[in-house]
């Protein structure tokens, strides 16, 4: 009976109930097990040669629920595009891009330098924090503040205001960033980012001399 009721929901109603709090567990279970199963299975078979969606479900959930369910909120139903069709396209693009990045990373011979470090970590999935040669050693030598700054602004590609809550914790400032003009916050974080990049370059230089 419960599944039959969910079948009657429009795409817009489905989204609103999925992103609502508290979490509606039965609806979430129905959505991930039934609504998304077909396209997840297709992606699994096409990209991973697997006949199961088990290995994709957790990451798929993180992908669409990230940033307050941004992916779901972006669906507009334009040109008759259903929520399921929209999600299948977005998800295929997400996993295809992930595979492309992993393949590229395995093939390139990494030469440490600040510009290449930026390009490299901009294309690195956030959850994959592993040491990779001199550059990651240099990264791990940074102060926690500088690591967080590069992680937030480059790896996770957050803007200054989104990253401010975490970065501001490292500053010896009596002023809350929320009480400052946005431009002031952005300028401060920009300087912190610049300092972090200089620091990692210095660490790389040290490691190359040893």
- For 137-176, give the secondary structure using H, E and C: HHHHCCCHHHHHHHHHHHHCCCCHHHHHHHHHCCCCCCCC
10-23 confidence digits (pLDDT tens): 999 999 999 998 88
- Confidence (pLDDT) at 199: 84
68: left (phi over 0), alpha (psi -120 to 50) or beta: left
Whole-number pLDDT of residue 208: 75
**Distance from C-alpha of 178 to C-alpha of 67, rounded to nearest angstrom:** 20
Q: What pLDDT shows up at residue 15? A: 93
For the whole model, what pTM was predicted? 0.50
Residue 151, phi-psi category: left (phi > 0), alpha (psi -120 to 50), beta (remainder): alpha
Q: Which residues of the chain carry a pLDDT beneath 70?
A: 1-4, 104-134, 210
State residue 82's pLDDT score.
92
Dihedral of the alpha carbons of 111, 114, 120, 121, in degrees to the nearest 10: 140
**Cα gap 142→205, rounded to integer Å:** 13
CA distances from 165 to 148, 158, 188 (A): 11, 12, 13
| Predicted pLDDT at 84 | 92
Residue-level pLDDT at 171:
83
């Amino acid at each position: 009976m419960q599944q039959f009721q969910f079948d009657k929901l429009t795409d817009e109603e489905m989204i609103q109930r999925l992103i609502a709090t508290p979490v509606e567990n039965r609806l979430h279970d129905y959505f991930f097990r039934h609504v998304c199963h077909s396209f997840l299975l297709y992606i699994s078979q096409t990209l991973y040669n697997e006949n199961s969606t088990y290995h994709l479900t957790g990451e798929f959930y993180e992908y669409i629920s990230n940033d307050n369910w941004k992916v779901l909120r972006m669906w507009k139903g334009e040109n008759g595009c259903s929520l399921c069709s929209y999600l299948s396209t977005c998800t295929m693009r997400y996993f295809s891009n992930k595979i492309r990045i992993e393949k590229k990373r395995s093939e390139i011979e990494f030469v440490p330098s600040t510009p290449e470090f930026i390009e490299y970590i901009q294309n690195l999935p956030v959850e994959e924090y592993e040491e990779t040669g001199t550059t990651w050693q240099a990264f791990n030598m940074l102060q926690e503040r500088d690591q967080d700054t590069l992680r937030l602004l480059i790896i996770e590609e957050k803007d200054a205001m989104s990253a401010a809550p975490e970065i501001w914790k490292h500053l010896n400032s009596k002023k809350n960033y929320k009480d400052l003009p946005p431009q002031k916050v952005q300028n401060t974080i920009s300087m912190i980012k610049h300092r972090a990049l200089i620091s990692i370059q210095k660490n790389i230089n040290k490691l190359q001399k040893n």
